Structure formats: structure tokens, C-alpha cells
Structure 1
């Protein structure tokens, strides 16, 4: 999902390690993509697959088993799986898992524009495969749709999707692209943001925040009602969130150049040591 300092994200960072996506790894030889770039695409497919599989599985099981998981449980599953996958493949692909995030980074020149189509295709493929897997597993009497549909009006869900994706992208930009942030905590921060958004927005819009998350189940189930809401809302929200953070980013100097301590953790440790 996120990216670090001019490259892809590291830890969704969905970010501890700086990954420069603008190097020569995405160049082509004999009209074929390089091996490192193919590895990034595979990481995006697998990462998106497991994120969508776990999150949508929680939704399907909850519907299939008389609400045994509940909204809090579904929210926790979404947050945890995003955090886990960010730390798993963030150092490989940047752990976007989300076309809106990829497009937002590209709009801020933090991701190569030429890689956007391939990343988006990989993310939609991963989501579709995950949705297809769930369709095969839960192929009983009841056909549970794991996609997203507005509970109220399309406009209500559109506005809500814009806001929560703005919130998500703002957090990603802060913890995954600003070298003054504590990169080790980026995955935790992004996962927690997803959890919070699903908790209050899930009953209204489904809390997609991700065009691939909505498009994959729609393709598998052939249910495209209000799909435009989940294409436009998250994409516009992510772009706005990324740009707003760039506006308030008052300096590119690392925190260690502003204060004597590199992080609040080290500062706390030094204070404790002094007291002793």
C-alpha cells in the first residue's frame, strides 16, 4: 500500500526499508520486463490475494454462520491482514495492494507512472483470484456476496469512501514516505487505520477504500451495482490525501537533524537512563 521516500513502500510501511522503485529494475530487455519487476508484480498479486481472501472470508463466514464474527471481528481481520502483508512483502513491491494508493503515489511522483498499469492489473488479478477461491469454498445453498454495496444512497457511500480513503492515504503518506517518521511502525499504523475505518464505515458503504477490493468480487459474482462509487471515491480520496500531506510536509530533513534523538523511543530510553 505505501512507499518510502521516493520509492515503493516498505513495511503497506503498508516501511522500514527504502525501496527505490525508480531504479533500473523496471527497465525492459528485448521488450520483456526485468526479473525484479516481475517479482514485484508477483508480490502484489499474492499480497492482494491474501488481503482480500482473509478480509472477504471474514465477511462470508459471518454471513454463513449467523453473524458469529460480528463487525468488530471483521474489522480486526482486515486490519491484521493488511499489517501482516505489509511487513511480509513491503520490501519487495511496496505493498500497495490498492490501485488507489498506486495512482496516488504516481500523481505525487513517488511511483513510476509507467508501472501503474501493471500494478493495477496485478492487484485486480489478486482480488479476483481471492474472490473466486471464496466462491468455490462457500458454494452452498446461500450465495454470499463478499463485495461492497451501499447501504443507503450512492452519494452517501461515495462521500464516505472519499473520506476514509483520504484518511488512510494521509496516514500512509505520513508513516511510509516521510523519513522523519518511525518506519518500523508503519505497517501497524496502516493496519490500525484500516481497522478503524471498517469499524464505523463498514455498515454503510462496506469500507472498501480499494477499487480492487470491490472490483474483484464484482467480477466473480457479476454484481456491478454502484461499482462506480468504489472506483471514483477511493481513487479521488487517495489522491487528495497524498497531496494534502505533501502540502503540510514543511521540510524533508530527517528528524535526527532537527532534534538530537532519532526517535521518540530513543529519546525515552535516554531519559530513563539519565534518571538512573
Structure 2
């Protein structure tokens, strides 16, 4: 029963995050920039912060397969639970994009992630790696076990996402989240750059976990608080 509640929380939280974040991008697209790049970045930061407040105590508010894998690599989350969390996140993300597709059929992109034109894919991969590295570094240092709880955790994580979306959004769309990139691609059919939005965030998150030992004691990533 407890696991079921966690999975429902991950589904609902991911749905809300993708619906609002990609929704802001979609509405900005079809209204010729009425929200603006800064407005979109703020929406991403605020919805993540809100969902951490809402579900951090229940599921840990991962909402991101890279974060879930990162916690598992840190031995703060059971590897056996990773597939269930990823499936719940996928259901939430795909459902959110389906609703956006239904509401705004005129949209060509639905918040999809692709590198800026003429920006090489390998450079986009490096940038997404670094963005997710900083995101997971923030999460792993403000979380309790595999949970992001408390006022400071929500503000810190929402803040880093807002910050990174603000400056990197125009280049790579600042995904930092494999399922956030996969869901729109299923509806737009644009899979050309999907590999980098899956691989780079996972590698970035795992690298951030490894780096925690550089600034904390050796036991910082060996506590199995699932």
C-alpha cells in the first residue's frame, strides 16, 4: 500500500510538472511568445518547487528517471524500485503531453527538446550532462535519504531548475530529464536527438553522486534510506 501511494505521487507529480512546464512552452509557441523565455523558465522552477512541497514526503518527488537512478547509485534508493518509479514517471509525462496534444493540436513541438539550430549534438550532450550534474548535486546535498523534503529542498531544487532553464533553455531546452524529452517525441515523431537527452542526464546524475565523496565524508552515499 505504501509503495502504491509513492507511485501515484510520482505519477501525479510528473504529470503536473510536464503539463505546466511543457504547457508553458506550448502556449508560448502558439501565442507567438506571449509568455517569453523567462516566463517559461519561471514556470518550470515554480511547478517543480510546488510538487516537491506536495509529494516530497510521500515519494521523494523524483519526477525524473535520472534522479531516481542517481539516488539508487548513491545507495539511498533500492534498485528494485527503480523500474516502478520510471514507469510511474512515464505514465505521468506521457499523459500530460497527450492532454496538451488534445488541447493544442496546432502546436508543432509540444515542448519537445532539440538543440538550437547549428549547435552540434555532442555539445548539447555535454551541456545537458553539466546541467543534470548541477541539478543532482543540489538534490543529493539537500535531500534526506531518497526524499527531497523541507522548505529549503523545494526552494533549492526549484531554484536550480529555474536558473538552468533560464540560461540554457535557448540552447538545449534544458531538459535534464529523459522522460521529459521522450514524452513529446512520442507525439511529434522527432527522435533525432533523443539519445543525448536520455544518456547525458543519467550520466550527469550518476557523476554528481560520485562527486559527493569529494566534499563529504566517505559514508555520505552509503546510507540506504529507501
Q: 2:172 aligns with which of 176, 194, 205?
A: 205
Partner of 1:39: 5
The reply on whether 1:232 has 2:208 as its aligned counterpart is no
- TM-score normalised per structure 2: 0.91
* Corresponding residue SS for 2:87: helix
Deviation at 1:150, TM superposition (A): 1.0
User: Is contact 2:100–2:110 with CA below 8 Å preserved after alignment?
Assistant: no
Q: Which of 82, 97, 114 lines up with 2:48 in the alignment? A: 82
Correspondent of 1:223 among 187, 190, 209: 190
Larger radius of gyration: 1
Distance 2:207 2:94 in 1: 27
Structure 1 consecutive aligned stretches of length 4 or more whose deviation exceeds 3 Å? none
8 A Cα contact 1:131 1:217, kept in partner: yes
Equivalent residue for 2:35? 69
**Match for 2:156 among 182, 186, 189?**
189
* Paired positions, count: 216
Runs (5+) with no aligned partner, structure 1? 1-34, 254-276
Equivalent position of 1:150 in the other structure: 115
Cα shift at 1:66: 1.3
Against the structure 1 CA distance between its residues 54 and 63, is the aligned structure 2 distance closer, same or farther, given a 3 Å change threshold?
A: same
Structure 1 length as normaliser, TM-score? 0.75
Distance 1:209 1:159 in 2: 11
Residue of structure 2 equivalent to 1:245: 212
Structure holding more helix per residue? 2
- Judged with a 3 Å threshold, the aligned counterparts in structure 2 of structure 1 residues 183 and 245 are, in CA distance, closer, same or farther, namely farther
Q: How does 1:1-276 map to 2 (within 5 A)?
A: 35-140=1-106, 142-151=107-116, 152-177=119-144, 183-250=150-217
In the TM superposition, what is the alpha-carbon distance from 1:183 to its structure 2 partner?
4.1
Mean CA deviation greater in 93-102 or 182-191: 182-191
Unaligned 5+ runs, structure 2: 221-226
1-structure distance, mates of 2:79, 2:218: 25
CA distance in 1, matches of 2:17, 2:50: 9
Q: Which has the higher contact order (CA 8 A, sep 6+)?
A: 2
